[in-house]
Amino acid sequence: MGVIKNLLAKWTLLLWTLLKPLGVWGVFAIAAIDSAALGMPLDPIVAGYVYLQPQKFWLYVLMASAGSALGSLIIYAIGYEMGELVLEKKMGKEKFQRVRARFEKHEFLALFVPSLMPPPFPFKLFALSAAVFEMHITHFLLAIFVGRVVRFLILSALVVLFGPQVVELIGPLFRQHAGLMGAIMAVTVGLVVLLVLRSKRKNKLAVVKR
């Protein structure tokens, strides 16, 4: 376990050295690669940039979120070609049916919530599912982008308050307190839903007044 941690630390340091001169575009690139195929140490990279330039946290949040959304188009293309039978074999029948039911009821939330989750949550599996179940590509990109914005805003706030070492605590905290983290995410989702519903009501009232 110690060997794996050392390798990850060296890998993160190498990436940080290569990407640091690129600024926000380095964040965008690593986020796109992370979502497209390879699992990259995205959170440590974002945390490092935010720690060095906290006044630009919003820029790093937006670029990391945009990179994640656009990189996920590769997963979308794979899922679109994969088909339901292949995905069902990969996931197992019971899990496949549960995920399918979520997308049929609330497809935006079914992808938005996984986008919020930090590693080691299997986000790519839900991205594949969204494509297999033919989620509209615009909704696909928006769900990932909004979810990542919330995730990286939370990460940025924690880094500003406690320093970049907080990244090392997120994974174990998520595994050990999955219920608490789930509750926090549920509250976040609830707030987002309320904002969306309120926005729709305002639009309806505006149309009626016209």
Nearest to 126 by CA among 170, 87, 168, 177: 87
- The answer to whether 123 and 43 have CB atoms below 8 angstroms apart is no
Q: Are 140 and 129 in contact (CB under 8 A)?
A: no
pTM attached to this predicted model: 0.73
Distance of alpha carbon 175 from alpha carbon 107, whole angstroms? 25
pLDDT tens over the chain, length 210 residues: 444 455 445 555 555 566 666 677 888 988 888 888 767 778 888 888 888 888 989 999 999 999 999 999 999 998 888 778 778 877 788 888 888 888 888 889 889 988 988 777 888 889 989 998 889 999 999 999 999 999 999 888 888 888 777 776 655 544 454 454 555 555 555 565 566 566 666 666 555 555
Residue carrying the six token digits 């790093």: 60
- Contact at 8 Å (CB) between 32 and 24? no
Rounded to an integer, what distance in angstroms lies between the CA atom of residue 205 and that of residue 210? 9
Distance CA 51, CA 30 (A): 17
Kindly report whether the peptide bond that precedes residue 120 is cis, defined as omega within 30 degrees of 0.
Answer: yes
